[in-house]
Structure 1
């Protein structure tokens, strides 16, 4: 143990002195940095050494310098880590993500548990990541994280984990039936045969700007729910005799209005211009309506548009948006119930519902 000697065998009592990092270091004959690392920086110590220090601290009644350490008394923190694929600002303003978090919070509130929102975009700070992750009882991971080592780090902790909106081997997942929802919406739109079809997609390829998918490799289905939606569209189109080329399929890196507007403008500027747009999100669909109206196109006479998500804004605009309603809040509730053991620990595929409105009657 280097400079470490046999620890103080004093029974759990502090003899009137408040237990501090310095006092614990004296009792265990180690440095204060070693005590701090055991609680806050587990990567700095071997597992055996860290466990010895934590066990001795617990025996002597010292619960550590932070909430995670104090939880050693009960083995639980009362916190659920929600690991987000995107940054916090984007996740809180994206209507689908915010609905998911709302559903999650409903269940956790009833159990008086807290959410600790974590962003995978911050995973480069190893010290801060380890500290934050030590403060939760487990993880609900929302969306595919770009760094595989983040998953591996979370899995290695051996804490409960539920994946949402993607598949992860060895982890229970909760997904929307994206394929069937997209296919049903395309089949509805094809009841009136279009001349030209374009697709506005979301995160189909590894590209940081708006582009067609021509010349790019698609993400795999386990990673990108949008690829499942694309396959639903393509299967419906194929059965109806339509062969859509890659240069009529657009990918946007984010689900914000700027990217959506650009994709819609570029798609509607093509020759021949599409008279049917299949959009993988309602924000894409709403932007397409805006661009079409600015181009003096009549909806649905000149252009029919179908969205996906079912956010409230789609029903307040005129013309209102035909869309696929996904149960975003229920997705959060189901993930929370599985995490808490209130629902059977098995994969869940939540059905969608087509909402027919003015943009594609």
Structure 2
């Protein structure tokens, strides 16, 4: 039987290259286990002999591309698909990828199965990372792949990013709210600190500004407030661990039952703001007469309720389109900062 007539397997390739089967497997699935030179030699020899590896990514060596884009999400998949801002981002991303007949592989940075994650990550041509990716195993693993990356909604060292101007948007919304001077201000934040519970913040707890968009929004609020003579102490700033109605409603109730009760709530997402409107109305408060509420995101739901939500509109779908075009080389490989737009409605006229 000739070599060409024998089915090429991991075991046979290990025999031909005089290495272990684990080394062959690592070359395709776990590149961090080998030096770059050794891995490159193994892949070149496998390709020369006609062995394309044990998975789809390895078989793509024939063309050098898989046609798949890995979309690394900061949150789990169920949360990302139900979050209106993340959903809009994915829609914009898909529009461009569909036009280029490319596929999108959704990955979660919270997947604890490292072997499965490495296998999935090997099946893509590169990564679009959405949200905040902490430095850790996932971060190091993506760097080890050496594939193209575009970051969205945060800054990643050595990586092109697409962001919105969170600071300017928050600052403008606070300046608008201050046209009618409030007595007491509270801020309902999102993921300002690394905790899984609704809480008030303490000094020096905040995430690094370069990594967390919420901290930029907080600075936009507080700078505008301080310029107008207001200082919001830490105990008047709440942080929610997720952008869900349950956490937002809890934070809003705590704020609206605090003493003194705020007559202005600056909310870092529309979901938080909409939960705050519901909490206020259920407590018998009038919006905006007793408490004015401002959101951030510009999701459609904010315009359809009464009172309608004053908010900062961000171009969520456009972020996805731009990230895809940069990744595919259709747009200049340069950082993009998108402007926001203040939408004045009933909750804070």
Give the alignment's TM-score, normalised by structure 2.
0.95
| Cα offset, 1:31, TM superposition | 4.3
How many residues are matched? 348
Q: After superposition, where does 1:1-361 map in structure 2 within 5 Å?
A: 15-122=4-111, 124-215=112-203, 217-361=205-349
Are the structure 2 counterparts of residues 316 and 212 from structure 1 closer, same or farther at C-alpha, using a change threshold of 3 Å?
same
Structure with greater Cα Rg? 1
Gap runs ≥5 in structure 1: 1-12
In structure 2, what is the Cα distance between the partners aligned to 1:304 and 1:228? 22
Alignment root-mean-square deviation, CA: 1.7
* Deviation of 1:29 (Å): 4.4
Shift of 1:313: 0.9
2-structure distance, mates of 1:39, 1:214: 46
Displacement after TM superposition at 1:134 (Å): 1.2
Whether the 8 Å CA contact 2:302–2:309 is kept in 1: the answer is yes
CA distance in structure 1 between the aligned counterparts of 2:133 and 2:319, rounded to whole angstroms: 18
Deviation at 1:26, TM superposition (A): 4.3
Give CA-to-partner distance per residue, 1:319-360, whole Å, 9 cap, x none: 111100000000111111111111111110000001111111
Give the superposition deviation at 1:116.
1.2
Q: CA deviation at 1:236?
A: 1.2
Tell me the CA shift for residue 56 of structure 1. Answer: 1.5
CA distance in 1, matches of 2:348, 2:321: 31
Q: Is the 8 A contact 2:66 2:123 kept in 1?
A: yes
Comparing 17-26 with 172-181, which one deviates more in the overlay?
A: 17-26
Q: Deviations over 1:115-160 (max 9, x none)?
A: 11111111x4332222121111111111112343422332232211
CA displacement 1:59-114 (0-9 Å, x = unmatched): 12221121110111111111111111111111111111111111111111111111
- Paired with 1:15 and 1:97, the residues of 2 have a C-alpha distance of 49
Higher mean C-alpha deviation, range 206-215 or range 19-28: 19-28
Provide TM-score, normalisation by structure 1.
Answer: 0.92
CA contact (8 A) 2:31 2:144 kept: no
Using the alignment, how far apart are the partners of 2:88 and 2:72 within structure 1? 16
Shift of 1:216: 5.2
Task: Note closer, same or farther for the CA distance 1:27–1:148 as it changes in structure 2 (3 Å cut).
Answer: closer
Aligned to 2:59, what secondary structure does the other structure show? Answer: helix
Deviations 1:268-321 (A, max 9, x none): 001111111100000110000000000111111111100000111111111111
SS in 1 for 2:110: helix
- Give the secondary-structure state (helix, strand or coil) at the position aligned to 1:121: coil
